[in-house]
Amino acid sequence: MDIPSIKHVRDHLIAKPGEPFSLAERPTRDDAIFANKDDAATSLKKDAAVINELKDMLYAHKKQSVLVVLQGMDTAGKSGTIRGVFADTTPLGMEVKAFKAPSANELARDYLWRVHNAVPKKGNVGIFDRSHYEDVLVVKVRGWASPKEIEHRYDQINAFEKHLTQNGVIIVKCMLNVGHEEQGVRLAERLVEPHKLWKFNPGDLDDRKDWTKFMAAYETAIERCSTEHAPWYVIPSDSRTRRNAMIARLVRGALEDLNLEWPNPGYKPDDFDIG
d(CA 77, CA 71): 9
Q: Reduced to 3 states, what is the DSSP secondary structure of residue 20? A: coil
For the chain, how many helices (H) and strands (E)? 12, 6
* Amino acid 206: pLDDT: 86
pTM of the predicted structure, to 2 decimals: 0.94
Cβ atoms of residues 173 and 22 within 8 Å: no
pLDDT tens digits, one per residue of 219-267? 999 999 999 999 999 999 999 999 999 999 999 999 999 999 999 888 8
Amino acid at 111: Y
Under the banding of pLDDT at 50, 70 and 90, the label for residue 212 is very high
d(CA 132, CA 153): 10
Under the banding of pLDDT at 50, 70 and 90, the label for residue 199 is confident
User: Three-class SS string for 183-218?
Assistant: HHHHHHHHHHCHHHHCCCCCHHHHHHHCHHHHHHHH
* Amino acid 55: pLDDT: 98
User: φ and ψ at 71, to 5 degrees?
Assistant: -130, 135
% of the chain exceeding 90 in pLDDT: 88
Per-residue pLDDT for 197 more than 80?
A: no
Per the prediction, the chain carries an average pLDDT of: 95
DSSP calls for 243-272: HHHHHHHHHHHHHHTTT--PPP-SS-GGG-
Going by C-alpha positions, the residue among 235, 229, 220 that lies closest to residue 21 is 220
Angle at 10 between CA 179 and CA 246, to 5 degrees: 50
What is the average per-residue pLDDT within 146-165? 98
Per-residue pLDDT for 194 more than 80?
A: no
pLDDT tens digits, one per residue of 72-128? 999 999 999 999 999 999 999 999 999 999 999 999 999 999 999 999 999 999 999
Per-residue pLDDT for 1 more than 80?
A: no
Cβ atoms of residues 112 and 164 within 8 Å: no
* Amino acid 12: pLDDT: 98
Burial (Cβ within 10 Å: 0-12, 13-18, ≥19) of residue 239: buried
d(CA 98, CA 95): 10
Amino acid at 1: M
pLDDT tens digits, one per residue of 42-60? 999 999 999 999 999 999 9
d(CA 63, CA 45): 27
* Amino acid 68: pLDDT: 98
